[in-house]
Structure 1
Amino acid sequence: MAYMIPETIRRTATAGERILFDSLRDHLPSDYIVYYEPEIRGRRPDFVILGPDLGLVVLEVKDYTKSTLYQVNQDEWVLRNTAGELVKTKSPFKQARDYARFITDHLKRDKNLLSDHGSYLKFPYGYGTVFTRLKQEDFIKHGLYQVIEPPFVLCRDEIDPDEEGFAADILLEKIHGMFTVWSPRKTKLTHEDIQAVRFHLFPEVRISAEFKPPVQHQDQLLLSLHNIKTMDLHQENMAKQIGDKHRLIRGVAGSGKTLVLASRAKMLAKEHPDWKILVVCYGIPLSRNLRQMIERMLNEPDDLLDLLNPPSAEGRNQSNVEVYNFHEWLRNCLRMQDNDIPFLLDKAQKGEAILPTYDAILIDEGQDFEADWLKLLCCCLNPDTQSLLLVEDRAQSIFKRKTSLAQDVGLDFRGRSKILSINYRNTAQIIQFAWDFYQEHSQLKNKVQEGTVEGVEIVPPQATKRKGPEPIIQTFRSIQEEMNFVSKSILFLNREKQIPLQDIAILYRVKNSHHTSYIDEIVQSLVQHQLPYTWVTENASSKRNFVRDEKTVKISTIDSAKGLDFRAVFIVNIENMPFPLEQAEEREVALFYIGMTRALEWLFLTYSGESKFTRYLDRVVQQRAKPAANQMQSG
């Protein structure tokens, strides 16, 4: 069964398109990717098939009947439309050929996808036509095979399993035969090759890439990319499949929920430039990061070579996407505070309120939104579009919400919810460590379910194969010793592991106590070690002005780090967790889980006091020491 993107066909598709969609899904190999009507740099071919042993094939689909065809030749077809008028159009075969050449000419700009000779793609590409309402006997009877040769044609009886002449192996064989040029040394597409093809053709799936300096090669400027990173196919499907009306995505920490949301915002902005789109989340730093991410996506050129010359400030696209944290949106767009919401909702129900209208609303950190907040946002949604996306992870809920989305908010997500269960952010060591802690301390662990979508509260993460060091646990006699260790570790990571300072964060639970100013100790130690820093959560202004890529170590509370990630994370003063003044220990468990899952590669856990959480960490250290001690005894 092939992987379809999107996973379901649009409702307005013809019956013939549906038959072909289902046949390609059911009868092509599982390592094939089939794109239905993908948007590729302003063009929209009907189907693009990508397979390791196939290469790339473009299919042009027509639902012409015998009565539709008036006069045909190899270049131009004259058709009779439903009004009986004669219209001219390009030959379907030429349409498929032009799409294929357009795509492959674009891919040839990446020299990593070229053959050893340097001018041809290292994998074959082909193109063909599909006639969903004409059978092979019709083609023979009307001499159509003289216009398009049989290897490049699929007829109704070759794609429809209900037809007597259908055979799955013949369908696959014919798709494999749609090539005009065969390479004597046919190269199988590697995972990296397929990732590169997706990177170039679909800018919306890009996460990052590193660039080598461009070189002159055969009078062409070719760009070489390495360490290309794209959304995986499941994430891409999420972003592209989300259809009309409201949708819910639940995902584990690090599963790319925010990336899917940002990619969805970009696609909506490009497809509907006249739409007014709102992106809203809970935390201020995340809202700034989201805004920067979406702006980068919207202004990133589709053309590979243009990546070397990013647009100037004057040349950037004017975005129709507004990004706020919820309370900022309340203040700036509605000129109101939290306690005014019930009164406004009452007026809205009576039709007496004047509210802004958005054609699409995308909500990140949905688990932290109160029922009235969601109701208010729903009142601002265009009833004609009903395009609402809610993204959440109940394991990261830092506020106790007993909201039933269907009962309390009026949002019924049955049949409209998806799960992202694979953690891409963290190494296997970090996610396992964080999940072990969560399972032992959370009162919600009995709500963890696997397999089903509806009703899932907490999604257990599945780690990727990415490995790294075990989380480092250190205890100290004083906060000064602790921070000295943290600063020296940052210098080590920066100098020896080449981790930029902007990819390092220090997270804290509270900034001071009655006897110690923890934030002063953190800042003083960084200054002593000549480490530039940004205290993100110093005040409202510092949160609003947060710039993720500023070349400084970031200092933040744990809850303000939600939605962000760093290659190295230090959680300090863990003896302050669970915080004695916090009545709901579940919130403290979620906060610590959130903090740990901010780390991509390196996680440091330090403390110079004692609490329930540090006693757990002490036990982990003791358990780690047992195998080493046993090994020494046996030696």
Structure 2
Amino acid sequence: MAYTVPETIRSTATAGERLLFRTLKDYLPDDYIVYYEPNILGRRPDFVIVGPDLGLVVLEVKDYTKGTLFQLNQDEWMIVSSSGEQVKTKSPMLQARENMFHLVNALKKDKNLLQLEGKFASHLKFPYGSGAVFTRLTQKDFIQHDLYRVVDPSLSLTRDEINPDDESFSEEILVEKILNMFTVPYRLREPLTKEDIDAIRYHLFPEVRISAEFKPPSPYQDQLLLSLHDVKAMDLHQENMAKQIGDQNRLIRGVAGSGKTLVLASRAKLLTKDHPDWKILILCYNISLSRFIEQMIAQMMTEPDNLFDFDQEADLAKHQIQVRNFHAWLKHDVKCKEQDIPVMVEKLRKKEAILPKYDAILIDEGQDFEPEWFELVSELLNPDTKSLLLVEDRAQSIYKRKRSYVQDTGLDFRGRSKILSINYRNTAQIVKFAWDFYQAQSALKNKVVAKELDGEIIAPQSTKRKGFEPAILKTDSFQKEANIVARQMKKLHEQKKIPYSEMLVLYRVKKTYDMNYIDVLQREMKKAGISYYWLTENSESKRNFQKDDQMVKISTIESSKGLDFQAVFIVNIDNMPFVLQDDVEREASLLYIGMTRAKEYLCLSYSGESVFTEYFDGLMAERKALAGDERNEVN
């Protein structure tokens, strides 16, 4: 079964388009991508198919009947419209071919996608082709009316060739015909890699771009070619989610590391593309997360459709996206105190107060919002657009919020929800380690569901990306703990080449009556020659947070929500659950959040005792026993 973007075809599609969509989805191989009416650099071909052993094929779909066709030649067709008028149009074959070359010309600008030597030098390194699909005409119709005189049978599909219910339908013939719809007649010797396909997606769909390493354009046969490396594009599931959210109110529930914030940012960019005049607001709870989203949006918006065009100032000026943490927005934009929100909501409802409306509002970490916050936000949403997107993960909920979106927003989310259940951020080892802990310690573990929307918490599915087992470090003093952590950072930097800007130290408690943990940690990092930035020192340090400043970040777990780093060190776990916090559920969620910030390396350390350290003591004992058993087997 092929992967389709979008997952389902729009209800207004023609019956023929729906039939072809289902057939391609059901009968093409699993590693093929089928795009329906994608918006590609200003054009909308009906179908685009990309496959590792196929290359790229563009299909034009027509629902012409025998009575529709009047006078035909290779390039121009005279057809009879539904009103009986004769209309001149390009032949479907020519339309498909022009759309194909529109895509090919964009892809040919990337040196990595070209063949640079041999017979097909300067061509793409994979085949590209086009064809037409006639959903209401059969092969018999084509023969009787001599249509194959102007339509190449190898570059066309008829209804009986795409309809599985037709007795003459053959899956093998369908696939074989698509594999041969090429103007450049060669087959791939080696299948396209994931990197190749990501590069194709990166060029054709600017909205899926995350980042790439650009090298100076290089001259080749009197033209300049891009040289892109380390291309990062959204996963297909994330792309589908961003494109399929649709209009009006939507809810996305996702596990930690599933790319919820990325989907939200991509959605904001798509909205500005479709509605350049819209005023868009993105809200979240944390100051540090709002800065991170702001930087992500700035990067996305300065990513030009034409990669040779780097007029960043112009691109930044185009959009009207505001990114705020809730309390800053409340203070500076709404000019209201939190305790006065109910009064403000009432005044807005009675038309006694006037505040600017937003055409779209997107809320990240929605599980942390109070009901009255949603009420206020809803009053400032343009009633004509109703474009409200909520993104949440209840396993990361650290504040007690009453859940009733219908009451809070006045909008019904039933049938308007999507789930992101695959964790892309963490290695499989980190996902399992964090989820095992959460299930062992959380009082909500019985509310966990796999995928259904009627449950409370979504169990994460890890990707196949493997890595190191998370480390557990137990010492007899915090001084030793901080010393070892600093040395491990230096080791990762020198031996694994991990930038210090990709390292994060998380703490639960800043200081107690007998110990200033941050002071001790900073002293040990200075001794090791490591530069650091205390992200949560004060509100100003949160606002000035820059991810890529070549410094290790030190933060509370709360302020790390939505962020990720290659290596994460969670210190002083013996202060969890915190003695002044009687909500153990919140503490379990906090530690789960902290663990899932780590993309590659995770280290937990402690020098005292608590309910959580007892769990990790048990885990270390299990590892030791397992290692002993393995040694005995070897001997």
- TM-score between the two structures when normalised by the length of structure 1: 0.93
Shift of 1:567: 0.6
Q: Tell me the equivalent position of 1:337.
A: 337
Q: Deviations over 1:530-567 (max 9, x none)?
A: 32222111111111121122221111111100000001
1:209 corresponds to: 212
Alignment of 1:435-474 (within 5 A): 435-450=435-450, 452-474=451-473
Quote the residue 2:240 is aligned against.
237
1:266 counterpart = 2:269: yes
Is 2:151 the counterpart of 1:148? yes
Q: Partners of 2:189 and 2:600 in 1: how far apart?
A: 38
CA-to-aligned-CA distance 1:573-613 (integer Å, 9 cap, x gap):
21211111112111111010101110111112122322222
Query: Paired residue for 1:130, among 112, 130, 133?
Result: 133
Give the Cα separation in 2 of the matches to 1:562 and 1:413: 25
Sequence identity of aligned pairs in percent?
61
Instruction: Tell me, in whole angstroms, the C-alpha distance in 2 between the residues paired with 1:347 and 1:82.
Output: 54
Once residues 315 and 626 of structure 2 are traced to their aligned partners in structure 1, the CA distance between those partners, rounded to angstroms, is 60
Which sits farther off after the overlay, 315-324 or 208-217?
208-217
SS at match of 1:121: coil
Count the aligned residue pairs: 631
1:307-341: per-residue Cα shift (whole Å, max 9, x none)? xxx43446644322111111222222211122122
Q: How many Å separate the matches in 2 of 1:403 and 1:54?
A: 48
Q: Contact (CA 8 Å) 1:206, 1:229: kept in 2 or not?
A: yes
Shift in Å at residue 302 of structure 1?
2.6
Query: Who is 2:63 aligned against?
Result: 63
Q: SS of the counterpart of 2:433?
A: helix
Distance 1:593 1:130 in 2: 51
Tell me if structure 1 keeps the 8 A contact 2:302–2:312.
no
Distance in 2, Cα, partners of 1:75 & 1:612: 76
Partner of 1:625: 624
Shift of 1:404: 2.9
Change (3 A) 1:633 1:38: closer
Note the 1:491-530 alignment, pairs <5 A: 491-530=490-529
Of 277, 287, 297 in structure 2, the residue corresponding to residue 294 of structure 1 is: 297
Deviations 1:109-159 (A, max 9, x none): 333333463422232111011233444455455544333322222334433
- 1:223 Cα deviation from its structure 2 partner: 3.6
Q: Distance in 2 between matches of 1:492 and 1:279?
A: 39
Displacement after TM superposition at 1:163 (Å): 5.3
Q: Distance in 2 between matches of 1:52 and 1:629?
A: 45
Seen in structure 2, the aligned counterparts of structure 1 residues 629 and 74 have a Cα distance that, compared at 3 Å, is closer
SS of 1:341 mapped into structure 2: helix
Tell me if the contact between 2:48 and 2:58 (Cα under 8 Å) persists in the aligned partners.
Answer: yes
Structure-1 separation of matches of 2:154 and 2:557: 61
Unaligned runs of 5+ in 1: none
Q: Tell me the distance in 2 between the aligned counterparts of 1:588 and 1:402.
A: 18
SS in 2 for 1:128: strand
Q: Deviations over 1:413-453 (max 9, x none)?
A: 22222221111111122111111111110000001112x42
Of 170, 175, 185 in structure 2, the residue corresponding to residue 172 of structure 1 is 175
Match of 1:189 in 2: 192
Match of 2:530 in 1: 531
3-state SS of 1:56 partner: strand
Q: Any conservation in 2 of the 1:372–1:409 contact (CA below 8 Å)?
A: no
Deviations 1:153-208 (A, max 9, x none): 23344334455654444433332332222116654333333222222222222233
Aligned pairs for 1:355-374 within 5 A: 355-374=355-374
C-alpha deviation, 1:85, in angstroms: 5.4
Deviation larger for 345-354 or 428-437: 345-354
Give the letter aligned to residue 536 of structure 1.
L
Alpha-carbon deviation of 1:255?
Answer: 1.0
C-alpha distance in 2 between matches for 1:351 and 1:64? 54
1:495/1:214 CA distance change after superposition, 3 Å: farther
* Distance (whole Å) between structure 2 residues aligned to residue 407 and residue 316 of structure 1: 37
Change (3 A) 1:448 1:65: same
Whole-angstrom CA distance in 2 between matches of 1:36 and 1:175: 16
Q: What is the identity, as a one-letter code, of the residue corresponding to 1:120?
A: H
* RMSD over aligned Cα atoms: 2.5
Kept in 1: contact 2:3–2:34 (CA 8 A): yes
For 1:493 and 1:510, the matched residues in 2 are separated by 25
- Name the residue aligned to 1:379: 379
Q: SS in structure 1 opposite 2:449?
A: coil
Once the two structures are overlaid, the 10-residue window that deviates more, 617-626 or 403-412, is 403-412
Residue aligned with 1:507, SS: strand
Aligned match of 1:227: 230
Aligned partner of 1:413 in structure 2 is 413
Residues 90/255 of structure 1: CA separation in 2 closer, same or farther (3 Å cut): same
Secondary structure of 2:511 counterpart: coil
Q: Secondary structure at the match of 2:212?
A: strand
Give 3-state SS (helix, strand or coil) of 1:549's partner: coil
TM-fit CA distance, 1:81? 4.5
Distance 1:224 1:246 in 2: 40
Which secondary structure state, in structure 1, belongs to the residue aligned with residue 377 of structure 2?
A: helix
Q: Does 2:282 correspond to 1:279?
A: yes
For the residue of structure 2 that corresponds to 1:249, the secondary structure is strand
SS of the residue aligned with 1:480? helix
Q: Which one-letter code corresponds to 1:583 in the other structure? A: D
Please list the CA deviations of residues 276-323 of structure 1 after superposition, one character each: whole Å capped at 9, or x if unmatched.
2221111111111111111111111233455xxx43446644322111
Which TM-score applies when normalising by structure 2? 0.93
Query: 214-223 vs 419-428, which deviates more?
Result: 214-223
AA at the equivalent of 1:382: N
Look up the SS of the partner of 1:488 in the other structure. Answer: helix
2:487 corresponding residue in structure 1: 488
Residues 184 and 276 from structure 1, CA distance in 2 versus in 1: closer, same or farther, beyond 3 angstroms?
closer
Separation (CA, whole Å) in 2 of partners of 1:477 and 1:214: 56
Q: Which of the residues 120, 123, 137 maps onto 2:123?
A: 120
| AA matched with 1:259 | L
Aligned-partner residue type, residue 175 of structure 1: I
Residue 591 of structure 2 corresponds to 592
| Aligned counterparts of 2:215 and 2:404: Cα–Cα separation in 1 | 51
Which whole-Å CA distance do the structure 2 matches of 1:529 and 1:9 have between them?
A: 57
- My pick for the range that moved more, 311-320 or 240-249, is 311-320
Further displaced range: 439-448 or 487-496:
487-496
Q: Please name the residue that 1:543 is paired with.
A: 542
Is contact 2:218-2:226 (8 Å) kept? yes
Between 552-561 and 44-53, report the one with greater CA deviation. 44-53
Asked if the contact 2:47–2:58 (Cα under 8 Å) also holds between the matched residues in 1, the reply is yes
**Equivalent residues in 2 for 1:92-103, closer than 5 Å:** 92-103=92-103
Q: What aligned pairs does 1:39-54 form with structure 2 within 5 A after superposition?
A: 39-54=39-54
| Distance in 2 separating the partners of 1:293 and 1:143 | 56
Counterpart residue number, 2:324:
324
Give 5+ residue unaligned stretches, structure 2. none
CA distance in 2, matches of 1:624, 1:184: 51
Instruction: Name the SS for the 2:237 alignment partner.
Output: helix
Alpha-carbon distance in 2 for matches of 1:614, 1:194: 45
Letter in 1 for 2:412: D
Aligned-pair CA distance for 1:83:
5.6
